[in-house]
Every structure is written in structure tokens, then in C-alpha cells.
């Protein structure tokens, strides 16, 4: 069991930050430290915080070495797309001429930036830009109004007659 003492100032910060920090992992670390302030055992802390025993010991060691700022540090690698460097150019182009499909968007991105991306990567990037996929519908064929009116008169009137007779037969 790791023996640490948490200062009253850090306890006040923990009470606030364990709910308000933007990172879920850092909030869990602060929760671990909060339960350590309450003199809980490492097993209880792991169970209450929903963390592994390794995370509990790692968090307590981080606090012992680097204080609260070291625990709040979230230094995991977050990949950044190559397209982010060309974000403004792509956004301007697609606002002027929106692509019809993701394949068209990928071709336009290749032409604008020289970066070849797949359809899935292109969809993800467009979503991050704020574009939403549109639902497609069938293009209506030329309507023959006379034929439609004839169909309505012939079939709709017959079906309504059938419904009336069936209703009258059932509920009379």
C-alpha cells in the first residue's frame, strides 16, 4: 500500500476537478485520489472508481512524484490526419461545389492536395468538417397525368367500394 498525504488545497481541487475535467481518464485518476483521501484500501478504490489495481498504483505514484499537475497530464498519442493541414482549402472548395458522393470527394481531395484517401477516411474527414450525408431518393420519371387520373378513378373507387361492403358485412 502506497502511503501519500494529500494537501487540503489539492483536496479542494480534487472535489471540483473530478467532475469537471474534460478528459475521462483524468477524471478517473482524480476519483482515485479522492477515495485515497477517504483512507480507502487500494482494492476498494479500484472497485469504486471502476479502475484496475494497476491504474490505482500508477496514479498514486504519479501523485507522489509530480503532485496534482502530473496526475492531470494526459500525454497519450492522438493521431492527426494529413488532411488537417489542408482543411481550409478543402472546406472552401466543398462549400462552393459540394460533392455528390464520398468517391467524388476523395477524387477532389486528391486533386486539391495530392493526398490519396479512401472512401471511409474521406467520409470521416467530411463529417469532422461539418458535412452530413444526405439521403438520396429516386429521381421521378416523367408523369403522365392522364394515366394517373385514370388509375385513381378506376382502382381507388373500386377499393373504396370493397372496403364499404366488407365493413357493412362485418358490422351489420
Q: Is residue 29 part of a domain?
A: yes
pLDDT for res 167:
47
* b/e per residue 17-47 (b: at least 16 CB within 10 A): bbeebeeeebbbbbbbbbbbeeebebeebbe
Q: Are 2 and 61 in contact (CB under 8 A)?
A: yes
Number of domains in the chain: 2
Q: Is residue 164 part of a domain?
A: no
Is the pLDDT reported for residue 168 higher than 80? no
Q: Is residue 166 part of a domain?
A: no
One domain, residues 19 and 55: yes
Taking the CA atoms of the chain, what radius of gyration do you get in angstroms?
Answer: 32
pLDDT digit string (tens) for 6-53? 888 888 888 888 888 888 888 999 999 999 988 889 999 999 999 999
pLDDT digit string (tens) for 59-77? 999 989 988 888 888 777 7
- For residue 23, give its domain range: 8-72
Q: Is residue 123 part of a domain?
A: yes
One domain, residues 15 and 66: yes
pTM, two decimals, is 0.48
Amino acid at each position: 500500500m502506497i502511503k501519500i498525504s494529500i494537501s487540503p488545497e489539492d483536496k479542494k481541487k480534487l472535489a471540483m476537478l473530478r467532475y469537471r475535467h474534460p478528459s475521462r481518464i483524468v477524471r478517473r485518476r482524480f476519483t482515485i485520489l479522492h477515495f485515497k483521501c477517504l483512507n480507502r484500501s487500494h482494492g476498494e478504490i479500484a472497485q469504486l472508481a471502476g479502475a484496475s489495481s494497476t491504474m490505482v498504483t500508477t496514479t498514486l505514484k504519479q501523485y507522489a512524484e509530480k503532485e496534482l499537475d502530473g496526475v492531470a497530464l494526459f500525454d497519450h498519442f492522438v493521431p492527426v490526419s494529413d488532411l488537417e493541414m489542408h482543411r481550409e482549402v478543402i472546406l472552401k472548395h466543398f462549400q462552393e461545389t459540394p460533392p455528390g458522393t464520398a468517391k467524388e470527394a476523395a477524387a477532389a481531395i486528391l486533386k486539391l492536395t495530392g493526398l490519396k484517401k479512401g472512401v471511409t477516411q474521406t467520409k470521416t474527414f467530411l463529417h469532422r468538417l461539418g458535412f452530413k450525408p444526405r439521403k438520396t431518393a429516386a429521381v421521378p420519371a416523367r408523369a403522365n397525368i392522364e394515366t394517373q387520373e385514370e388509375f385513381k378513378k378506376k382502382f381507388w373507387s373500386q377499393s373504396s367500394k370493397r372496403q364499404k361492403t366488407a365493413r357493412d358485412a362485418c358490422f351489420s
